[in-house]
Amino acid sequence: MGTGQSRRNALKTMITGSAILGLSSAMPSYAAERGLSDTPLKSDALSDRKAPLKGNVKHSVCRWCFSDIELDEFCIAVKGMGLKAIDLVGPAEWPVLKKHGLYSSMCNGAEINLTDGWNDKTFHPKLIENYTKMIPLVAEAGYKNLICFSGSRRGKTDEEGWNNCVEGLKQVIKLAEQHNVVLVMELLNSKIDHKDYQCDHTAWGAELAKRLGSENFKLLYDIYHMQVDEGDVIHNIRTYHPYIAHYHTAGVPGRNEIDDTQELFYPAIIKAILATGFKGYIAQEFIPKQKDKLQSLRNAIKICDL
């Protein structure tokens, strides 16, 4: 997911208007922070002939990275590129996705924020309440993945973090199993963007998954974040793929386009993901720097469509 303060602000806005707190999950505005235009683009300017995607990768894109584009228009654009899903859309906007025949590949709205998570018992009552309400909504809508977060360490050891997460998540995991919903904890870097975040290495998240012992708890492997904190991306994908349900992409450094301006070689990474037998979604989560943001998205999809 996103970088530093912008991501925290985004989640605060989304959660304030989530299904849990009133069913109006509005996306945050990044116009001032990211220099994005706040003038809506015309639908005919966004439509694009459907790209002949190869079908080996299930492509998605994170809504917040293109939040200056009105959702209806964004749906038209991404569908024209051949995408079938959008990440991080809350319940209030699911009807818009359904209208355009698009899937919500990673649902959000039950989390408190990135810092107040399952590793701290203080937040368990609210999280249990939120996820108990949201899990059935996700299932009723025909979706599967619901995001969650470890939260900040606040001085806790790894063992304390694992124990607290297990204690809290076990109170909702049975409900998730009953509804065939997967709780997906995102791996975020604690070096640059999310200081003190506990689930900041793949091994930590995989150990939590082992302790929970449920197929309805998995990890969101954010390639950008894990390159920042631990590197060795392909090796870790090969090692921990049984615990990974979803991937996010972005360029390193900076979380921008995944082109030749950054250090990762995405064709090799996507090839490694596919070699594990992965059948889930790979979602673009980069912050476009180019003036034509939708062209940046087209280029990213082309790079990843092996």
The domain limits of the chain are 4-304
Task: Report if pTM > 0.95.
Answer: no
- Rounded CA separation 13/54 (Å): 36
Percent of the chain whose predicted confidence (pLDDT) is above 90: 83
- What pLDDT, in 10s, does the model give residues 24-72? 333 333 233 223 333 344 444 444 445 489 999 999 999 999 999 999 9
Structure tokens of 242? Answer: 């049984």
What pLDDT was estimated at residue 2? 53
- What pLDDT, in 10s, does the model give residues 181-234? 999 999 999 999 999 999 999 999 999 999 999 999 999 999 999 999 999 999
For domain 4-304, which CATH number applies: 3.90.25.10, 1.10.3470.10, 1.10.645.10, 3.20.20.150? 3.20.20.150
- Rounded CA separation 111/134 (Å): 10
**Mean pLDDT, the chain, integer:** 88
What pLDDT was estimated at residue 31? 30
Overall average pLDDT of the 256-262 stretch: 95
